[in-house]
Structure 1
Amino acid sequence: MRCGVIGLGDMGSGLAKNLVKGGFETCGFDMTPARNAALADMGGTPLQSVAQVGAATDVVFVMVMTGAQAKAVILGDGGLLETMAPGGTVILTATIKPSEAREIGTALEGTSLRMIDSPVSGGFPGAQGGTLTMMAAGAPDLLDHCAPVMDAVSASIHRVGTTAGEGQTVKACLQSLLGSIFSATFEAAALAAKAGVPGQVIYDVFSTSGGGCGIVNTALQKIIDRQFEGTGSHINTMHKDLTISMGMAEDLGVPLHTAASAMQIFTAGRTKYPNGDNWVATRVIEEIVGAELHREAAK
């Protein structure tokens, strides 16, 4: 299968890199010239438009930021619906509202294209390492057909449904949990800083306790090393994902008390440090309490 990737940022570049590594002919497009150049460096073929990618591929991964962007790429003028050959497949790996994914799926019904709704989890390390978790919703035969290219970019593929929107629904539930874990970690880090506990001690204890997990461990490492920008996990992404989770909860009448608090913590971090990554929200809390957590060993 000839593969394409639309959106070559922190996540999309990882998809492209692992498709190339898996032996697939891979092209892509991004609005940022430097990202297109990086695709060439990794062995892929940068193209000049979505239309060119559609015309050159059998399977296209769409890894953009918003539902509006996804709809434009797939359904808009010069989009994949117009340019991919009959029988082509769109794999929607972007995280968007379930309702937006359903809208795209409905628009594709009766056309020559098919779609797999499969948002991913694993962040920048998972994308670059080819170890993402995929929450895939699509027809069983289509999932079987696309298994080789999905295997190339992931470590776990969960079949969570058969129709567009079901993958996004599972992702919204997951992000409500991850956002809450992140924000609790930020608060615990600030508490330790104010209490005078060395950052290395907190990391060693937390990472080997029942509270240790990928989210907690990564966040603490970034906090105690004061790495708040350029780590591949921009705060805008989690803020957007929590917005989706809260919106879905509102529609369903489900109270998300903890996720709502997390949303406010991420909003504060995003407002104060708009160029920061997820863990930069810790700095806002640290500034309130007047203490910072650094990587220093026990005294």
Structure 2
Amino acid sequence: MTQVGVIGIGDMGSGLAKNLIANGFETWGIDLLAARQQAFGDMGGRSAASVADVGRNAQIVFVMVMKGAEAHEVILGSGGLAETMAPGGVVLLTATIKPSEARAIGDALDGRGLHLIDSPVSGGYPGAQGGTLTMMAAGTDAALAQARPVMEAVSASIHRVGTAPGDGQTVKACLQSLIGAQFSATFEAAALAAKAGVPGQVILDVFSTSSAGCGVVNNALEKIIDRQFEGTGSHINTMHKDLTISMSLGEELGVPLHTAAAAMQVFHAGRTRYPDGDNWTCTRVIEEIVGAELHRNSAKVTR
């Protein structure tokens, strides 16, 4: 039996773990939060005492942390995967970090006997929990062949986007610049409809069956009109961080990202006003400005 590890078992990592276990893989996991560790054990996972414990027990390890510095530490730090995994093991970097950070990790791993697959994911909390994530994978033929059964357990679409560390993160940065723009346009359209007195269900029905309808827009509208602004598995900090990465790449390459920059400001406002909210909470900031809220069966004037 292939033994798999998951480092970071929050909203996304818990979905990875759930589907790995369901597909028969012995799955080791660790998280900084005790509640997440307990939930992981309850679903049948093997709780690890440390990152080193994961490395010693798994041939393939998913790294699903928040920041590049965290990924660097769990892979290359003292007691990290580079020190504890057996030669020939595969590190799946599924966290979203800067391309330059992924390249630095790849350079440091060179000659250490491990394979690195740079494969950020898309699909959010529903995709992670449902095992339908899109993976943007960059790695060698050998690494991808070795990891494919494990990747297929958590993903519905695996795209080979390159061979080198950083290639996957670059594609993800491009994708997030688009998704950020879709989000911010949806938030503004929802506030416009609220101020005009159009019920949310009408907007959802029309948008979802139009050429503008897509998973991003439809899901965001569902959350807005049902006033679900927290606890939906899509914390605003994550998208804010991802847009920061997109903007950084644009600056590095000299590419103007006017729309992504506007989305960045929308998310910045949302995170400042509602730091515990999810992505859709940005709509509340605009609604407060215009004095109206979009509900499923009505548009509510608040002042």
Question: If the length of structure 2 is used for normalisation, what is the TM-score?
Answer: 0.97
Q: Is the 8 A contact 2:195 2:291 kept in 1?
A: yes
Q: Is the 8 A contact 2:197 2:298 kept in 1?
A: no
Are 1:233 and 2:234 counterparts?
yes
Are 1:77 and 2:69 counterparts?
no
Are 1:282 and 2:283 counterparts?
yes
Q: Where does residue 43 of structure 1 map in the other structure?
A: 44
Off by >3 Å, runs of 4+ in structure 1: none
Q: Where does residue 151 of structure 1 map in the other structure?
A: 152
Q: Where does residue 111 of structure 1 map in the other structure?
A: 112
Aligned pairs (5 A) from 1:55-204: 55-204=56-205
What amino acid sits opposite 2:23 in the alignment?
Answer: G
Distance 2:138 2:95 in 1: 13
Distance 2:198 2:133 in 1: 34
Partner-residue secondary structure (3-state), 1:90 = strand
Q: Is the 8 A contact 1:201 1:297 kept in 2?
A: no
- Deviation (angstroms), 1:297: 6.4
What amino acid sits opposite 1:23 in the alignment?
Answer: G
Partner-residue secondary structure (3-state), 1:94 = coil
Question: If the length of structure 1 is used for normalisation, what is the TM-score?
Answer: 0.99
Q: Is the 8 A contact 2:177 2:243 kept in 1?
A: yes
RMSD: 0.8
- Deviation (angstroms), 1:114: 1.1
Distance 2:19 2:297 in 1: 37
Q: Is the 8 A contact 2:198 2:298 kept in 1?
A: no
What amino acid sits opposite 1:109 in the alignment?
Answer: D
Partner-residue secondary structure (3-state), 2:137 = strand
- Deviation (angstroms), 1:100: 0.1
Partner-residue secondary structure (3-state), 1:292 = strand
- Percent identical among aligned pairs is 74
Structure 2 residues not aligned, in runs of 5+: none
Deviation digits for residues 115-156 of structure 1, max 9, x if unmatched? 000000000000000000000000012111110000000000
What amino acid sits opposite 2:180 in the alignment?
Answer: G
Aligned pairs (5 A) from 1:198-277: 198-277=199-278
Q: Is the 8 A contact 1:123 1:233 kept in 2?
A: yes
Partner-residue secondary structure (3-state), 2:158 = strand
Distance 1:50 1:157 in 2: 26
Q: How many residues align?
A: 298
